[in-house]
Amino acid sequence: MERTRTHFRIKSKVRFIIFITIVLLGMLTVFNMTMGADQANGETVQKYITVEVAAGDTLWDIADEYMSDTDSDMRHAVYTLQKFNELDTANVNIGQQIKVPIS
């Protein structure tokens, strides 16, 4: 059984170009949606206030005073302060500047 080739003729070049453009734009849109290119990849700027540690202050006190309305679990608030200020422990010194993230 012999195969015959089917030949297609382009009747209108303008319609063909429009069709190809629409198909390519559709493929590009699907690609962007699946690869996440439609999402912003920039870093979010974190806003914060600076608090100077006074005598008797602890990280727990600072978290309770400045973050109690944004975080119901004080342990999480203290952990957030530690990570935000790159502290190894929850110990702070008098006069130390602590950045407290605000929303």
Q: Count structural domains, the chain.
A: 2
Helix, strand or coil, per DSSP, at residue 52: strand
Give me the pLDDT at residue 42, please: 61
Indicate whether 70 and 34 sit together in one domain: no
pLDDT in tens, 34-51: 877 556 656 677 789 999
The verdict on residue 2 lying in a domain is no
The verdict on residue 74 lying in a domain is yes
Indicate whether 58 and 85 sit together in one domain: yes
Select from 55, 68, 54, 73 the least CA-distant residue to 100: 68
The verdict on residue 78 lying in a domain is yes
Between vectors from CA 103 to CA 80 and to CA 94, what angle results, nearest 5°?
Answer: 50
Indicate whether 23 and 60 sit together in one domain: no
The verdict on residue 77 lying in a domain is yes
State yes or no: pLDDT of 102 exceeds 90: no
pTM metric for this prediction: 0.53
Structural domain boundaries, residue 16? 11-40
Strand partners, 50: 99
Its sign, for the CA torsion 86, 88, 91, 92, is negative
